[in-house]
Structure 1
Amino acid sequence: MMTTFRRTVLASGATGALALAAGCLDFALGNGPLEVAAERAAPTDDALEAADYEENAVEQETIEESVDAGVERDVEATVWASTYTKEIEYRGVEGEGCAFAAISIPDVSVAGRSFNPIGELSNEELLSKYRGKFERGGASIENLTHRESFGLEILGDGRSVDVFEGTTTFEGAEIDVDVAVTSFAHEGDRLVLVGSYPAALAAESATIEELMESVEHPV
C-alpha cells in the first residue's frame, strides 16, 4: 500500500517519506483521512492569447469522500479548477459567451484500488457535476444531448472528445450552445477539460480544440 501511496503524493527527503508513512498508517488504521492533492492543468498563455480568452478564476477545492477499503475510510482530495472566458458579440449584444475549464483531481490508488471520485463517471455525468465551471452569468445549460465524438492529441496521447448540444440564455435571449468535454488520466491525476460556446459560432469549436490541445499538466 505504501508504494502506491508514494506514487500518488509528492514528497522529498527523509521527512517527506516519514510523513507519507505516517499518513498511510493513519488511513489504514482509520485514525485520519488519506490526504492527496492534484497538480494544476491549464492551457498555455500563448493559446489563451491567440483564442482571446481571459482567466476567470483559478481555485483549489477539497473533496471529502468516504470509501470502502474493506472497512470505511475517508479520503480528502485537493482539486484544481482553472476557468477562462471570452467576450463575444452575438446578435448585436456583447457579453461572456464562451468558456473553458481545466479541472484536475488526484487519481488516488491504495492497494491497487482507485478511490477517484470521478473515475467511473461518463463525460455526460461529468458535465452535470461540473457545469458550474463553464456556465456563465448565472445562466444554466439545459437539455444536453450527445451529438458526436472525435479524437484529439492532448498531452502526448490520443483522447476522445464528446460534443453535446443544449440551450442556455445569453444576455436574456435563449440560444443553442455546444459543449465539448474530454476526461483522461495523466501523471497521477484525472483531468477534465470542458469548453462551451454558442452553436451558431461554428469557428469557436476549433478554438476550443486548440485550447484542449495546448493544455499542460502539471503547470
Structure 2
Amino acid sequence: MTHSRRSVLAAGATGTLALTAGCLDFVLGNGPLQFNSDRAAPTDGALEETGYQKQKVREKDLDRTINLPGGIERDVSASIWASAYTKEVEYAGQKRDGAAFAAVSIPGMKVAGRSVNPIDDLSNKKLLERFMSQIETDQGAIRDIKHESTFKLGILGDGRTVDTFVGKSEVEGQTIDIEIKLTSFDHEGDLLVLLGLYPKMLTEESANVEVLMESVEHPVEG
C-alpha cells in the first residue's frame, strides 16, 4: 500500500469516526440529533412579474423528543425555512394585503431508517391547517375549507400534484370565498410545502400563484 493510499484511508476513517461519534452521542443521550434544511423560494423575476413583495423570511428551530426501540427517548432538532410573500389587491372596496404565498422547507428527518418528520403522514388538508400560520394577511381567519380540485404543475423538474381548496372569510362584514393552492413534495433531501391564497373572485391571482410555484428554486443560492 502506498503512502498516499494510506493517507486517503486514514482521512476516510477519521470522517467515519466523527460521524459515528455524533450518532453515538445521540444514542447515549449526550446531545440532540440535528437536521438542517435548505431554503426554497420563488425567483425575483417571478415576484416582480406577479407583484408579490417579500413579507418575512426566517429560519426556525423545531425541537422534539422521539422514542427509539427499547423505550429510549432522545431529542431531535431541525431547522425549518419559511419564506412568505404578500400582494396588495383591491376587493370589498378597499386595497389590502389580500393575496399571499409561502414556501416552507423541512429537512427529511430519518433515524434508524424511519422518518421522525412530524408532518410526513399529514394529509394536504392537515398540512394546510398547519401552514396557514406562516401567512399573515388582512383577511382574518379562513373557515369551512373544502377540497375543490387537483391538477399537475411542473415544479423543480417534475410534475407535482397541486390541490385547490376553497374556504370562507369575513371582510368588512361581507363573506367572501378564499381559494388556496397547496403542493408538497420531497426535493434534495427536504420536504417542501408551497401554498398560495387569494380571494376567489380575483381569477388572475390563480395564475400568479402558479407562476410563483413553477419558479421556485431549492436550494436558494446566497
TM-score scaled by length of structure 2:
0.87
* CA gap 1:66/1:201 in 2 versus in 1, 3 angstroms: same
**1:60 and 2:51 equivalent?**
no
In the TM superposition, residue 67 of structure 1 has moved relative to its aligned partner by: 1.7
CA contact (8 A) 2:63 2:75 kept: yes
Q: Secondary structure at the match of 1:137?
A: coil
Check 1:206–1:64 CA distance in 2 against 1; reply closer, same or farther (3 A cut).
same
| CA displacement, residues 14-59 of structure 1 (integer Å, 9 cap, x when unaligned) | 9987654433221122222111111000000000000000000001
Distance 2:141 2:154 in 1: 30
**Whole-angstrom distance in 2 between the partners of 1:218 and 1:171:** 40
List per-residue Cα deviations over 1:186-209 (Å, max 9, x = no partner): 101100000000010112111111
- TM-score, scaled to structure 1: 0.88
Larger Rg: 2
Residues 95 and 171 in structure 1, CA contact (< 8 A), matched pair in contact too:
no
Structure 2 stretches lacking a partner, 5+ long = 1-11
Paired residues in the alignment total: 207
Specify the alignment match of 1:79 in structure 2.
80
Tell me by how many angstroms 1:169 deviates: 3.0
Task: For residue 103 of structure 1, report the CA deviation from its aligned partner.
Answer: 0.2
Task: Give 2:168's aligned residue.
Answer: 167
- Identical positions, percent: 54
Q: CA deviation at 1:215?
A: 0.3
Q: Distance in 1 between matches of 2:83 and 2:16?
A: 30
SS in 2 for 1:136: coil
| Structure 1 residues 142 and 19: CA distance shift in structure 2, 3 A | farther
Whether the 8 Å contact between 1:134 and 1:195 is mirrored in structure 2 is no
| Equivalent in the alignment of 1:208 | 209
Aligned residue for 1:96, secondary structure, equals strand
Superposition pairs of residues 111-130 of structure 1, within 5 angstroms? 111-130=112-131
Runs of 4+ in structure 1 over 2 Å off: 13-23, 169-174
